[in-house]
Structure 1
């Protein structure tokens, strides 16, 4: 049984006084338990729209989304919200931590919506999760006293504290330097391995995407599988967004290709 499946999914919006705009077209994607999938796409490719669909934040214009083989469209908004809260953890580029609240209080927040034993043990569960991400010594630190990498670790702990079955990471290293970004991705991989969660990482960075076991590229709303995202054609903008050391070599390659084409 698949965890999450998209079949012929299309998403169309109607801008004011403009023709209908198709953002996603015929997307097919199956996520299995413990899967690790990366999706590479530049700005405007439909990544945010796809993330909203994968996270059950939105419904497709056409096509079908199933979770545990059950059609999501048949769920009420309230049931979809409960399913998302229990089964899906989001890791964003922006940390979105509550200022004026300690690391422990930030991670405890999602557990306030739990019930029974989990609710009463929420502080211990949150503390254990922070210890798991290497911040057991910073439980009572405020966000403004933490480094960028530490803030992202708190955000990861908060997203995983309820034990989600699916982790959706949206440009999780975009606000971090190269070394910190790599350590954060290693941490997400480690936690996912321990908890048995599936991962979907959406990024513009082919090197981050390469850490996954299955790779896809999203371009103009069309999702296609690729063998190695680092070998796929890149635009000049994608080259500029990459790490400086890699960008130097890659931009030379791009210029050479452009020169030959010219």
Structure 2
């Protein structure tokens, strides 16, 4: 089942005292239930801008983006919020945990906006998800008492507690050591496989990208398929040949969308 479909999508943002900057050029992409795909690209290639579109945090300048068969441009602001909260789980490099709140309380946060059973059983559901990510013994621990890998596992549990159909992981291991990062990615992969969710990992690290079964390359805002059979050496070689994409100086950025999209 197709969750996301992008056709000829572009993203252009205004710059003060300069011509508009086009970050994404003619993006064609289809993401279906159960997909495990990686999007790799150097700094400035437009990865974060693409993530914002996939997560319905932003809208294309031109082209079409549909979620679950419905054009995203027809969603109201409230509908976008509901879809993001119910169907999309976000995992970032920075854990963004609430200080002064236990692991369980952090994982419960998305359930505060749920309805019915998920709301009334939020404490139990949070504890069960922490158990699933191997932190059942740490449910009442504060974030500052957790290691980096444990904090990322709490963030993963928080992203997955509502059973999203699409998991978007933006540099999810960037703040972790190699061994812990591999463990976190294995966990994400296992959860995605067991639930049938689509897992999209956006990264600059070919080694992390190789863990997916479908590899895409974002180069200067243009998306292309590297391989669909999981052979890693091709992705590594292509990525290493890429020059760094040019970026505007910070003083040139006058739009919040650019601050998120350029240079990531």
The Cα shift of 1:233 comes to 4.3
Q: Distance in 2 between matches of 1:56 and 1:48?
A: 12
Larger radius of gyration: 1
Residue 240 of structure 2 is matched in structure 1 by: 234
In structure 2, relative to structure 1, the CA distance for the partners of 1:236 and 1:193 (3 Å cut) is: closer
For residues 69-108 of structure 1, the aligned pairs below 5 Å read 69-108=69-108
> Deviations for 1:127-172, whole angstroms, at most 9, x for unmatched residues?
0000000000000000000000000000000000000000000000
In structure 2, relative to structure 1, the CA distance for the partners of 1:71 and 1:236 (3 Å cut) is: closer
Q: Distance in 2 between matches of 1:167 and 1:145?
A: 27
For residues 53-202 of structure 1, the aligned pairs below 5 Å read 53-202=53-202
Superposed CA RMSD in Å reads: 1.3
The Cα shift of 1:236 comes to 8.7
Aligned-partner SS, 1:14: strand
Q: Is the 8 A contact 2:14 2:20 kept in 1?
A: yes
Q: Distance in 1 between matches of 2:88 and 2:12?
A: 24
TM-score, normalised with respect to structure 2 = 0.88
Number of equivalent positions: 238
Residue 247 of structure 2 is matched in structure 1 by: none
> Deviations for 1:35-57, whole angstroms, at most 9, x for unmatched residues?
01100011110001000000000
> Deviations for 1:48-86, whole angstroms, at most 9, x for unmatched residues?
100000000000000000011111111111111111111
> Deviations for 1:14-43, whole angstroms, at most 9, x for unmatched residues?
111110100000000000110011000111
Aligned-partner SS, 1:180: helix
Aligned-partner SS, 2:106: helix
Q: Distance in 2 between matches of 1:233 and 1:196?
A: 29
The Cα shift of 1:235 comes to 5.1
Q: Distance in 1 between matches of 2:160 and 2:243?
A: 33
> Deviations for 1:169-226, whole angstroms, at most 9, x for unmatched residues?
0000000000000000000001111211100000000111011111110010000100
Residue 230 of structure 2 is matched in structure 1 by: none
Residue 16 of structure 1 is matched in structure 2 by: 16
Residue 225 of structure 1 is matched in structure 2 by: 225
Unaligned runs of 5+ in 1: 239-262
In structure 2, relative to structure 1, the CA distance for the partners of 1:233 and 1:129 (3 Å cut) is: closer
Q: Distance in 2 between matches of 1:118 and 1:176?
A: 31
Q: Distance in 2 between matches of 1:105 and 1:84?
A: 20
Q: Distance in 1 between matches of 2:225 and 2:67?
A: 21
Higher RCO (Cα < 8 Å, 6 or more apart): 2
Aligned-partner SS, 1:78: helix
Aligned-partner SS, 1:95: coil
Q: Is the 8 A contact 2:206 2:239 kept in 1?
A: no
